[in-house]
Structure 1
């Protein structure tokens, strides 16, 4: 099975490169399942229902989020009408929406996607480790779920790595989001779980984390905000992670970074041009 995860989608240029390229990538490589973190899709802050639906039309199977999930207030209502839009599972009980979902892939596998948010240098939410444990207890790998993907939206690399080791052998993929910079530590952990500390972003990398450079640089220099942050308008890159999955175990057999377009060096899954794995 072939799984593609795309990191934080930032602004119009990030949306457009996903809309333009994702359908062709799915067709070219025979991708079975796509997860996109879209919490910065609407002007850099949150996601609207229209953008959510457009991402599904482009081929995304599940949309994950993070600390900006409620920046577009309409998300509080449309999140209740779909099982493919996730907010972090460790929000307090009673928060609208859901933090995990079980969705059938193009090849018929049942994929559990779990979205949690870290607590180090982030908003004080419930324990993400206990939240993940609850979801795995309810829908375990090799039981109800053939594949399990965990989006760990967090600032601290240590917290993301700890989550990877916490579920090693019990999940297919743990991938970090939020920092918008792709890390070079993609690997398969000893128990068979694919891992990367941060998938990067889908947006313009000639920027400060996807935002136009002038305002964030000015704030660092003067410590005074002069305007709102706005997404950069330069050439965008797709950034994420490609994972091969053995459906007999639900564990990863290969993991590689994915980068295409913009100023980043290209990293494409050329091995996916061969016969798809079982």
Structure 2
């Protein structure tokens, strides 16, 4: 099974990149399933129903979230009825939505799990114990499993990769918006990348207007960040999974910017 994972979509610039490049990505990588992190898709904070529909209409099959899940209150109106969207599974019991789902496209099935880290992020239940419980259950019926670990600290992400080696097909980090150059297949067959990177404004600071961010660093004063209006970059990960075993046979990062992309 071939899967493309699109890193954190940031604002209208990121959405435009997805809309433009999805046909190209599908032609180049021939994915059976496309998953995207959408927690910054609406103005850099959260997601709404209209954007969710757009992403699915363009060809995304599943959406993962993160620490900005609840920033747009519109999400409370649809998250419980949208089976293709997952929020961090290690949030408290009773939280709207679900932390795992099975994405079905034709005769292909991919279980997806969303977790959030605890280092430098708001309090959450233990992602490691939550992962153990969820994957033990999912592995009874599904061999192909993707885990989006939305975390700040690289050490926490790397630890999760090793913790889930042989239990997940792909452990991909999100949240920092900076793609890492460490994609590999771990000894027990789990593909791992510390961070998939960002899909959004290339020339901002993590997708935000750089002038405002620089001013805040210099002055220390509060500032309202806005999504930068610059050329786009699309970042993500491609993984090829042996459906018989659930082990990855290939993993490759994806990085395309507006200046280098040649429309086909």
TM-score (norm 1): 0.91
1:242 has 2:241 as partner:
no
**Contact in 2 for aligned 1:19/1:58 (Cα 8 Å):** yes
**Contact in 2 for aligned 1:147/1:171 (Cα 8 Å):** yes
Matched residue, 2:149: 152
Matched residue, 1:66: 66
RMSD value over aligned CA atoms? 1.3
- Which aligned runs of 4 or more in structure 1 are off by greater than 3 angstroms? none
Matched residue, 1:113: 112
**Contact in 1 for aligned 2:202/2:257 (Cα 8 Å):** no
1:165 has 2:162 as partner:
yes
Q: 2:228 and 2:219 mapped to 1: Cα distance? A: 21
Other structure's SS at 2:86 match: coil
**Contact in 1 for aligned 2:177/2:198 (Cα 8 Å):** yes
**Contact in 2 for aligned 1:109/1:146 (Cα 8 Å):** no
Matched residue, 1:186: 183
- TM-superposition CA deviations, 1:43-71 (whole Å, max 9, x none): 10000111011101111111001000000
What is the Cα deviation at residue 144 of structure 1? Answer: 1.0
Matched residue, 2:95: 95
Matched residue, 1:128: 127
Q: 1:42 and 1:191 mapped to 2: Cα distance? A: 38
What is the Cα deviation at residue 104 of structure 1? Answer: 1.4
**Contact in 2 for aligned 1:89/1:100 (Cα 8 Å):** yes
**Contact in 1 for aligned 2:157/2:194 (Cα 8 Å):** yes
Other structure's SS at 1:161 match: helix
Q: 1:35 and 1:89 mapped to 2: Cα distance? A: 17
**Contact in 2 for aligned 1:179/1:198 (Cα 8 Å):** yes
Other structure's SS at 1:96 match: coil
Matched residue, 1:20: 20
Which of the numbers 210, 215, 218 marks the counterpart of 1:218?
Answer: 215
Report the number of matched residues. 261
Matched residue, 1:275: none
Matched residue, 1:269: none
Matched residue, 1:259: 255
Q: 1:173 and 1:28 mapped to 2: Cα distance? A: 20
Provide structure 1 residue ranges, at least 5 long, that are not aligned to the other structure.
Answer: 267-278
